[in-house]
Structure 1
């Protein structure tokens, strides 16, 4: 679907990305994710990366 949309709109789907972006969340969600990361023995970055990866791959 994404590739079809890119083709229709003349976009290059293979754009290079830096691998970093800023994300703003509520303080409550930040605390929940930090607690989950600590409980799993992960950094906050690794926890969020894993959660985003799981969400993208479950579609």
Structure 2
């Protein structure tokens, strides 16, 4: 797999092969002030983890009354 990206609710996430961890793939939500990462063994699982991470990030921002604005 080449490095790729996912899109969800206006957020972009990376997808990269991982040689340093137990999980085969990892990614990070891009263009935000915070660091949000995810990992999985397959591309399908990685995209699911990305979507879960975005939903969790939005819920955390709402609970903290924090602007989840995307930086571009």
TM-score norm. by structure 2 comes to 0.31
Larger RCO (CA under 8 A, 6+ residues apart): 2
TM-score norm. by structure 1 comes to 0.36
Structure with greater proportional helix content: 1
- In our comparison, the structure showing a higher alpha carbon Rg is 1
Structure with greater proportional strand content: 2
